[in-house]
Structure 1
Amino acid sequence: MKNWGKEYGLINLTHLSYSDRHIHDQLVDGSLIRLTAEVVMSGATYRRLPPWERAAAKAFAVGMTVDKAVVGGQAAARLWGLQTLTIENAVACYLPGKKVPKSPRQWPEGVVYRYGYLSARDIREFHGIRVTGLISTVLDIARNDGLHAAVVVIDSARRQWESVTPEYLHRELEALQRRRGVPVFREAIELSVPNSDSAQETRARLILHEANLPEITSIRPQVRFNRGKSGRYYVVDFLINDRVIVEIDGRSKYKTDTPDQLETALLAERDREKLFTNHGYTVLRIEPKQLDAVAGAECEFLQLVRAVLHKEATAA
């Protein structure tokens, strides 16, 4: 596990002496910001971080300051370096064993304690903080955040670590049969793949799976397209019916240092799409917000897929 505290220069105020007055001066002038009541970091560094890294810094800061608690849920998954479906509003923590947390009125700001038995074998300690182990982390997510969130984390773990296979996950679950969330965990294993490239890609795949559109005969994630004899290739997020390419565009995709770099990136993307269309493929480019469901209606992503598949069928 990455040492997020060192990575972002987190400072524990309880370890400072009175002579470290300059730290307090920086808090006053805004150069440092508080992640928790006791942990601070550079405000400039924090503002440069993408949201998920800000959440990782916050989760690590909580881990630095809780006395006995163990960081769990999506916060723990993020500290493990795994992608998550959402960014939580509060860092979930457990007390080891059968200990019961204090009244919610006494919880630190930005922390929520969850109730449940946590054995010593389910706890890992890294860089001075405690987090739940991988299996307990996913089970916690399956129980509290749902199927899609659990699949996202499993997809990410399978992509990073070859040892995390469906067989391994099912075997580890055998000892947890009586825990809440096990059925959801098992379903998430069956829906997971080893080569999903992002949380939004996983989410789009699950939306298609649950829609069960009769027009769809196959969905292949991370399909590779060779670029002639050069040995170079493109990889697309997934391919529907071997004809429709779906690409999920994250906001960070075109982050560049200069306008010239941005123009180069956009031209390369245009050339990539031209190669696909010249070979008869339909390219469907989706933004994450188009995956959001609208009350009483399908999400825009599903509507677009239906329209493209209908067009493909009528043109055949």
Structure 2
Amino acid sequence: MENWPRKFGLVERRKKTQADQEFWRNQDRYYRVTSEILVAKQSYDGLLTWERRTAVAAAVGLTVDRAVVAGRAAARLWGIDVLSEDRTVELLHTDGKQAGSRRTWPPNVLYRRGNLHAAEVYEEHGMRVTTIPRTLREIAARHGVLEGLVSIDSARTKWPELTRETLTEKLLEGVRFAGKARVREAIELSEPNSGSPLETKARYLIRKADLPGIETVEIQARIDTGPDEYFLVDILINGWLVIELDGRFKLDGTTFGSTDAVLRGERAREVAIQNTGKMVIRSGWEHLETSEDGQIPLLVRIEAALRSHPVQTPRGQTMRTVDKTA
């Protein structure tokens, strides 16, 4: 686990002494993340949204004495992607202990009820968090299949040894808990090579829509565009329909270089793929949300492409996700 307190420069107020005069004189230079944890304004203002959420999770982790950071907040501390931007930090107590009255809870903190064993707790850098298996289980069980799938996909990409079989053993076997069916479905739908939460959500929506005409769905599919050139595309449907997904950071002018250079590169890539006879649909987060007419724009475009494309895929097959590893 990364040392987030050091990375973000979190300051534990209770550890400062009267000798730290510069700190006490310059309180206006800090934001108060929790009642006991501060962070320099200059540092915090430069953080991305996901980094700020992680900083809050780390601050709460440093503050609580008996509780354990769980759910989405724990995933952030493990470096696992989460779908939601909710900054609430979920906490659990071990061995059946319960939190006090809700009126005593700090802001942005939610204590969950549940059986958490000592073996499901990991401690490092002054923070106690749920183990990776328990973290993934909490997200899927409490927040639904899609959120669980995003985090499980991310974990499988980060740790290839987390196969479906391994996840089933670690998350499901030998325990009873609410939301077990959701966890099982998230594991079954997971893939070892998802490129991003956006890709995972798109794949999930395509799978759940059960659109007529879809025979195969392949992720991170290789498209050969020349003797020594190929591209990996986010999603390939029926071997000819390419879905390219653009996340929030691709055109921010910083993460992937200047916006103009990114646009030129993406256009050249798209033309090269189209020259192989493929059709390309570009989509972003906004195309995965339900519009006013009750439809999801990405699915509408896919359905239209499947109806209009002259090439027919073999009949008599069922939709499947191409996956060479479990």
- TMscore range, shorter length: over 0.9
Structure 2 partner of 1:206: 204
Alpha-carbon separation, structure 1, partners of 2:40 and 2:307? 53
Structure 2 partner of 1:36: 34
Structure 2 partner of 1:279: 276
Residue 114 in structure 1 maps to residue 112 in structure 2: yes
Alignment of 1:56-205 (within 5 A): 56-205=54-203
Give the number of aligned pairs: 313
Residue 27 in structure 1 maps to residue 24 in structure 2: no
List gaps (5 residues or longer) in structure 2: 314-326
Alpha-carbon separation, structure 1, partners of 2:252 and 2:292? 32
Find the partner of 1:253 among 243, 250, 255. 250
Alpha-carbon separation, structure 2, partners of 1:288 and 1:296? 17
Partner SS for 2:26: helix
Q: Deviations over 1:131-158 (max 9, x none)?
A: 0011211111112110001111111111
Alpha-carbon separation, structure 1, partners of 2:63 and 2:249? 32
Q: CA deviation at 1:298?
A: 1.7
List gaps (5 residues or longer) in structure 1: none
Q: CA deviation at 1:61?
A: 0.5
Check conservation: 1:176, 1:182, Cα contact below 8 A. no
Partner SS for 1:153: helix
Structure 2 partner of 1:307: 304
Q: Deviations over 1:20-61 (max 9, x none)?
A: 233244332xx3212111111122222222211111111011
Check conservation: 1:291, 1:300, Cα contact below 8 A. yes
Q: CA deviation at 1:277?
A: 1.5
Alpha-carbon separation, structure 2, partners of 1:238 and 1:273? 14
Q: CA deviation at 1:175?
A: 4.2
Percent of aligned pairs with the same residue?
Answer: 37
Most deviating of 110-119 and 165-174? 165-174
TM-score normalised according to structure 1 size: 0.93
Q: CA deviation at 1:206?
A: 0.4
Higher relative contact order, chain-length normalized (CA < 8 Å, sep 6+): 2
Higher helix share: 1
Q: CA deviation at 1:216?
A: 1.0
Find the partner of 1:243 among 240, 243, 247. 240
